[in-house]
Structure 1
Amino acid sequence: MNVKHLLGAVVAALALTSGAQAQQFFRIGTGGTAGTYYPVGGMIANAVSQPGKIIATAQASNGSLANVNAIAGGSMEAGLSQSDVATWAYTGTGAFEGKPKVADLRMIANLYPESIHLVVKKGSGIKSVADLKGKRVALDEPGSGTLINARMVLAAYGVKESDIKPDYIKPNQAGDKLKDGSLDAFFFVGGAPAGAIAELASSGVGIELVPLSGAPSESLRKQNPYFAVDTIAANTYKDVAAVQTLAVGAQLVTSAKVPVETVYEITKAMYNEQTQKTLAAGHAKGKFITKENAVQGVGIPFHPGAEKFYKEAGLLK
């Protein structure tokens, strides 16, 4: 055995013996700071960190698409993603049409419903998606799931991107522009209430949410079964009436390359009693993050570590 091989063997042996003590770093891609992924990802990271064993950190990002790509490239161990984006990445369809499949993408948990918000200023006269023609509309940043969904919604209602004056900015910037009158509407996909929208609703400007209902919405749901009918309840945002919309699932995804034991420990920690209390108290969407919801609406294979936990909990056969 030459020196190089000998060194390799020693390193491998050390790695094996120190494996039990080695700290695992677990980086979770979230989203922009004004959305829902960022605070929820932060709560999850805090809850599952085990000093000396697993150090989980939440990192701001451009959202679903960016997180899936970071997992594929190895710069993140996990990330939050819309259910549609995760399914497209794994199957090489939708936004991943013609791109390599992210074959190693694995599910840890389905978390909570993400509502499609179409936000306009109070009294704007915009009552339907079709009314957006000729208007200045923010569709969120490239790399976000919101941008993909916004395009699907516009198309379902017969509105082309060339029919509107599109802007590709985050919801907090869109909120500022709506406030100062340089924008008419913006899309945001995320758990309600979203920070940027709640702020806008209570800032004195006042907002309305445009419903996604009727035949176009129904046909969109039939073609894309990962969409669910959803209602944003009255007063989720200050003085805003209940509105029917569509939702996708927010999911925590990872790579098949992450060790089984690490994902098992993380999944177990997410659903222990203490974490469940923390999540329910920490964010309006936290109460949806239950082990029963974790296995709903899943379009990609579970990571074996997560699967082990759900089998023990009697949720998967």
Structure 2
Amino acid sequence: MTSLKKIAACLIFGSAIAATGLAAAQAPQFFRIGTGGTAGTYYPIGGLIANAISGSGEKGVQGLVATAVASNGSVANINAIKAGSMESGFSQSDVAYWAHTGTGLFKDQGKVEDLRLLATLYPETIHLVAAEGSGIESVADLKGKRVSLDEPGSGTIVDARLVLGAFGLTEDDVEAEYLKPGPAGDRLRDGALDAYFFVGGYPTGAISELATSSGISLVPIKGPEIDKLLAEYSFFSKDTVPAETYSGVGETETIAVAAQWVTSAKVDEELVYKIVDVMWNDASRAALDAGHAKGKLIKLETATIGLGIPLHPGAERYYREKGLLK
């Protein structure tokens, strides 16, 4: 081969390698966020975060394509992360703790040892929604009533059972149904249901619409029974839904858990570091503040409270750099 031909061959070979490298560098990396039902709070919050961290965002992670995926909630999201069919998801703090330790709801399934935390997001309030004029003024009044506990696989059903148990009730003491918040609200409006449980940030769209269209009452979750429950389960905390959060509904005492964003220890540390970094930049902050009432409660200074499970190494490195961890 002449020198000229050798040079040409090298140029062609070099160009092919460069093109291949460029294609690989530009290949999108997908990052799914399991949320909840479309009528709840997880889904819109997940959409805001996905838009913020995606590479198409103002200051997103380059090459990352994040999507919010509707699901059955906390338990379903953790199982999807464990199975590798979801890179991350939202979970109630109690469900995440049970999964990682193999206790509570997960005592028969074993530990999800690779479950890791990206951030604690905001308080999730336990709503006990009743039909207006139902006469249900306490959890104890649910006995013999038609009550939806949410779908199997959701975090809500776990907490509903604990709340009922605090008052000496089980599913056998009520006419239990297992519906998502949207269908449960429809049945309440139609007079086919007396009450339903929902765990999520307030205000939630489905309950707001129901309060405006047909009227509701929020049943207080309080009393010595609840004080005992809080002493037994540290992931619960007292909470109050302010008056007129839902049209015509006064201030209501209740309890809450925390919404958390979880992932797998198998997800790359550098990728998680970049995701968490973008999560707390000014553009993401503005999007959260403008996008949803609960978005304003998602703050860097509370991202590491009530952890319950280990932080992902990428997230831990970021929070240590910010001085949030000792």
- Under TM normalisation by the shorter chain, which class is it? over 0.9
Contact 1:24 1:262 in 2 (8 A): no
Q: If you compute each CA radius of gyration, which structure gives the higher value, 1 or 2? A: 2
Distance 2:238 2:149 in 1: 21
Distance 1:98 1:132 in 2: 29
Bigger shift: 101-110 or 47-56?
47-56
Aligned pairs for 1:90-239 (under 5 A) are 90-203=100-213, 205-239=214-248
- Give, as a single letter, the amino acid of the residue that structure 1 aligns with 2:321: E
Q: Which SS does the other structure have where 1:67 is aligned? A: helix
- Give, as a single letter, the amino acid of the residue that structure 1 aligns with 2:294: K
- Give, as a single letter, the amino acid of the residue that structure 2 aligns with 1:36: T
| Equivalent in the alignment of 2:321 | 312
Contact 1:135 1:164 in 2 (8 A): yes
Contact 1:24 1:54 in 2 (8 A): yes
Q: Which SS does the other structure have where 2:99 is aligned? A: helix
Say yes or no: does 1:27 pair with 2:37.
Answer: no
Distance 1:288 1:132 in 2: 32
Q: CA deviation at 1:231?
A: 0.5
Q: CA deviation at 1:23?
A: 2.9
- Give, as a single letter, the amino acid of the residue that structure 1 aligns with 2:42: Y
Distance 1:159 1:16 in 2: 62
Say yes or no: does 1:84 pair with 2:94.
Answer: yes
CA RMSD for the aligned pairs?
1.5
Q: Which SS does the other structure have where 2:256 is aligned? A: strand
| Equivalent in the alignment of 1:40 | 45
- Give, as a single letter, the amino acid of the residue that structure 2 aligns with 1:294: A
Q: CA deviation at 1:19?
A: 7.5
Contact 1:45 1:58 in 2 (8 A): yes
Contact 1:121 1:185 in 2 (8 A): yes
Contact 1:107 1:302 in 2 (8 A): yes
- CA distances 1:148-199 after superposition (whole Å, capped 9, x unpaired): 1000000001112111000000011011100010000000000001111011
Distance 2:195 2:278 in 1: 40
Bigger shift: 71-80 or 118-127?
118-127
Cα 1:85–1:19 change in 2 (3 A) is: farther
Q: Which SS does the other structure have where 2:293 is aligned? A: coil
| Equivalent in the alignment of 1:9 | none
Aligned pairs for 1:256-275 (under 5 A) are 256-275=265-284
Cα 1:108–1:19 change in 2 (3 A) is: farther
Q: Give the TM-score normalised by structure 2.
A: 0.90
Q: CA deviation at 1:223?
A: 0.5
Distance 1:83 1:160 in 2: 23
Say yes or no: does 1:74 pair with 2:84.
Answer: yes
Contact 1:54 1:262 in 2 (8 A): no
- CA distances 1:79-119 after superposition (whole Å, capped 9, x unpaired): 00000000000000010012121000000000000000000
- Give, as a single letter, the amino acid of the residue that structure 1 aligns with 2:311: F
Any stretches of 5+ residues in structure 2 without a counterpart? 1-19, 57-61
Say yes or no: does 1:299 pair with 2:308.
Answer: yes
Cα 1:17–1:316 change in 2 (3 A) is: farther
The share of aligned pairs that are identical, in percent, is: 61
Distance 2:219 2:164 in 1: 13
Aligned length: 302
